[in-house]
Amino acid sequence: MYRYDEFDQTLVDDRVEQFRGQVQRRLSGALTEEQFRPLRLMNGVYLQLHAYMLRVAIPYGVLSTRQLRKLAHIARRYDKGYGHFTTRQNIQYNWPKLYEVPDILAELAEVEMHAIQTSGNCIRNVTADQFAGVAADEIEDPRIYAEIIRQWSTLHPEFSFLPRKFKIALTAAPHDRAAIKTHDIGIGMVKNAEGETGFEIFVGGGLGRTPVVAKRVRGFLPKQHLLSYLEAILRVYNQLGQRNNIYKARIKILVNQVGIEAFTAMVEEEWQHLKDDALDLPADEIAYIKSYFAPPSYEKLEGEDASLAEKRLAEPAFARWLLTSLQPHKAPGYAIVTISLKPDGGIPGDATAEQMEAVADLADRYSFGEVRVAHEQNLVLTDVRQRDLHAVWQELRRHGLAAPNVGLLSDIIACPGLDYCSLANARSIPLAQQITRRFADLDRLHHIGKITLNISGCINACGHHHVGNIGILGVDKKGTEFYQVTLGGSADENTSLGEIVGPAFDEHHVVDAVETVVNTYLEIRKNGEDFITAYRRVGLAPFKETLYAAH
Amino acid sequence: MPLIKDGKIAQDPWIEAAPDAALPDVDALLVPYAVWHEHRETLMKRNGRLGVRLAADQPPQLIAGDLDRLDLVALEFPTFRDGRAYSYARLLRERYGYKKELRAVGNVLRDQFLFMHRCGFDAYAVADENLAAEWSRALAEISVVYQPSTDRRRPISSLRRRTPAGPGAAPAPKSGEIVSSWAY
């Protein structure tokens, strides 16, 4: 993984002291809250319902075990013993004290971490495929370019006061695990007719109150032009994005207003001035960053490990966990293991300090000391030998981390909701907990199969409900929490937005509604097709009928 | 309003014309873009120095052809959260080759000095003259940069390669040192 050199370290250390000064000026009254707000936001400090919240960047979801142990230490020392992994591969602490935040940042800087640009109207922490570098289906390692973008976007002098927040995601596999089409800029790595690798660029995706699937702005961009092209897009947006209405300020609104053809023309025109100049990425710079992502020294192993088959037969619980937790690894005899942070009745994405340390220990022992955060709010061990899977599973079980539900109904993505967030209309966490309890029966869960369920506590859509196969949106009706259900959303390479199924349900009926949707799907399912395939075949009607027929 | 240049409070010779009043007969006259647009021909014939003030929705393309005649361009920040003028500043310096005074006006605060300087501003109209003492500190707070920008500081990528970033490239400023702008 990437390691800071003296320059990266200097910047982060400087930033800690700069923020310490800003906090001191706020506490002394030299800065008003209005003036301090964008400064703290650019350092990930939010003022929430009950306290300040600190969001720490985990660039493209990659963590060393040393970093993960530091996150555990911060949870214990400065918070209430846990942290919350987010849909943007970051971690949030819900109870830090403002005067301690500079100390937390100093501790993070010791392990090459920071909270720079995890909020505010700037270029946010860049995200990527959580299986980058090890996935069997990828063209190239997107972490190289994610790191290059991280550096370019950090404290960018021109783009730190954009009309609105700006999110960039990358993937290098045909199967999109980074939801690139729901981002302001989505970047996919592709090969052109000559066999060269470059970038396909999408722009103007986003969720929130106006969900939009990103549109293609360029089919193939040679690697050396990555930063000049991004700078061209950002410069057009910085000048023309709306600034008088925060609900119309994202780039998606600009792209929709001028049309993708006109927007593309403006970007290309701007790019003609920027290309082949100071932002050009020479091959040696790419090679330098790439050298940090050299694959670890894998043992030479034959295909599937024989002992695994034996243990699979002997222990059905282990077999079940294997079914949901593994992804194909590019090296024979290895597996990618996703660790579910969605236990029955748990809070999606939460991990205790002890659990973080347990995962760090496992990664050191079995996975070359590296951990990933998935945007589905789970953790990942990237390089586990198949013969070690049983030991890993046993250890995970000891720490309540072996829920065999990755990719299944109870692998819920949820925002913090009204329990923490000052924007929310409704609670998300208790609803997620109720759903996981209702669907706790593992036989049933596995029988239902692959499905995504996303919950947002308000229209800002932090739980990405628009792109859940089943989406649930908390709404406020005259002071009472209601939940609107959408169906048919998807966040992969076939991104689609869910359709509202009908009138919202109150908190006593929404779990029943989810169950009705699931039962309806099981009725109409043909040849083992998964939920989204069945939905695309039959549409909304049969679900509408079973949900509202009785009323 | 106090003016900061090179980290010090500077005398401001510029007189700004009120939008609807007669143009005052002064040596250094700053006019809003609307006045420039309406009286361009008359203004061009004056002997004194001329400056134009652009609001946040007035991009520098509007005056790109007139820059040879201007000694001051003032870019407005209606609120510090409105970042359009950062792009305008870079366009003026890098694309249109403007080399005279580029002044930040409006809601100009200490914590934006570094970004403004990096984008090519060299004068700052501030509400509080005590900010002059903060200026060099604000600029030195972050001693390394990742992006090539108008200030021509060498980005980290070029320092790593230990190769010259190009003619005129400036080294990172040492702590406390004020980078003189517009050396090129």
DSSP state, residue A278? T
Which whole-number Å values give the CA distances from B162 to A59, A114, A235, B5, in the listed order?
26, 26, 29, 32
Residue A88 contacts residue A375 (beta carbons within 8 Å): yes
Residue B163 lies in a domain: no
Burial of A160 (C-beta count, 10 Å sphere; 0-12/13-18/19+): buried
Residue A461 contacts residue A483 (beta carbons within 8 Å): no
Separation in Å, CA of A158 to nearest CA in chain B: 5
Separation in Å, CA of B147 to nearest CA in chain A: 6
Spell out the alpha helix ranges (H) of A29-84: 33-41, 65-78
Using pLDDT thresholds of 50, 70 and 90, give the confidence band for residue A550: low
From A447, A446, A459, A467, select the one nearest A375 (Cα to Cα).
A467
* Distance between CA atoms of residues A174 and A191, nearest Å: 11
Residue B159 lies in a domain: no
The correct CATH number of A306-398 out of 3.30.450.20, 3.40.50.300, 3.90.480.20, 3.30.565.10 is 3.90.480.20
- Please answer yes or no on whether A8 and B156 come within 8 Å at the CB atom: yes
| Contact residues on chain A for B81, CB-CB shorter than 8 A | 38, 121, 161
- Please answer yes or no on whether B80 and A239 come within 8 Å at the CB atom: no
What confidence tens digit (pLDDT) does each residue in A53-90 have?
999 999 999 999 999 999 999 999 999 999 999 999 99
Using pLDDT thresholds of 50, 70 and 90, give the confidence band for residue B166: very low
Domain carrying residue B31:
3-141
**Lowest model confidence (mean pLDDT) among A299-303, A399-403, A465-469, A498-502:** A299-303
Number of CB atoms found within 10 A of residue A551's CB: 7
> Is the CATH code 3.40.109.10 the one for domain A6-110?
no
The correct CATH number of A413-548 out of 3.40.50.300, 3.30.413.10, 1.10.340.70, 3.90.850.10 is 3.30.413.10
Sketch the domain layout of chain A as residue ranges.
6-110, 134-290, 306-398, 413-548
| Residue A357, both tokens | 């340390």
Q: What angle do CA A346, A183, A371 make, to 5 degrees?
A: 50
Provide the 3-class DSSP secondary structure of residue A449.
coil
Provide the 3-class DSSP secondary structure of residue B141.
coil
Write down how long chain A is: 551
Which whole-number Å values give the CA distances from A414 to A322, A380, A411, in the listed order?
24, 19, 10
Q: What is the pLDDT of residue A5?
A: 94
Q: Which helix (H) or strand (E) holds A476?
A: strand A470-477
CATH number of the domain bearing residue B134: 3.20.20.70
| Contact residues on chain B for A18, CB-CB shorter than 8 A | 141-142
The correct CATH number of A134-290 out of 3.30.413.10, 3.40.50.720, 3.40.30.10, 3.40.50.1000 is 3.30.413.10
What confidence tens digit (pLDDT) does each residue in B102-157 have?
999 999 999 999 999 999 999 999 998 989 999 999 999 999 999 999 998 999 99
DSSP secondary structure string for all residues of A78-137? HSSSEEEE-TTS-EEES---GGGHHHHHHHHHHTT---TTSSSSSBPPPEE-TTTTTBTT
Provide the 3-class DSSP secondary structure of residue A481.
strand
Q: What is the pLDDT of residue B162?
A: 53
State the complex-level ipTM: 0.94
Which whole-number Å values give the CA distances from A274 to A233, B148, B149, in the listed order?
11, 11, 12
Residue B39 lies in a domain: yes
Using pLDDT thresholds of 50, 70 and 90, give the confidence band for residue A433: very high
Chain B residue at shortest CA distance from A17 = B141
| Residue A396, both tokens | 């995970």
Q: Would an 8 Å CB–CB cutoff place B88 in contact with chain A?
A: yes
Q: Which residues contact A94 (CB under 8 A, 6 or more apart)?
A: A48, A50, A51, A53, A79, A80, A84, A416, A420
Separation in Å, CA of A497 to nearest CA in chain B: 32
What confidence tens digit (pLDDT) does each residue in A219-238 have?
999 999 999 999 999 999 99
- For chain A, percent of residues with pLDDT exceeding 90: 89
From A93, A24, A12, select the one nearest A353 (Cα to Cα).
A93
Residue B31 lies in a domain: yes
Domains A306-398 and A413-548 share a fold: no
| Contact residues on chain A for B111, CB-CB shorter than 8 A | 22, 35, 39
| Contact residues on chain B for A238, CB-CB shorter than 8 A | 83-84, 86-87
| Contact residues on chain B for A15, CB-CB shorter than 8 A | 142
Average pLDDT for A1-7: 95
Residue B33 lies in a domain: yes
Residue B123 lies in a domain: yes
Please indicate whether residue A345 or residue A321 has the higher confidence score (pLDDT): A321
Write down how long chain B is: 184
Mean pLDDT of all residues belonging to chain B: 87
Give the one of B81, B82, B149 whose C-beta lies nearest to A157's C-beta. Answer: B149
Backbone angles phi, psi at A447, to 5 degrees: -65, -40
Number of structural domains in chain B = 1
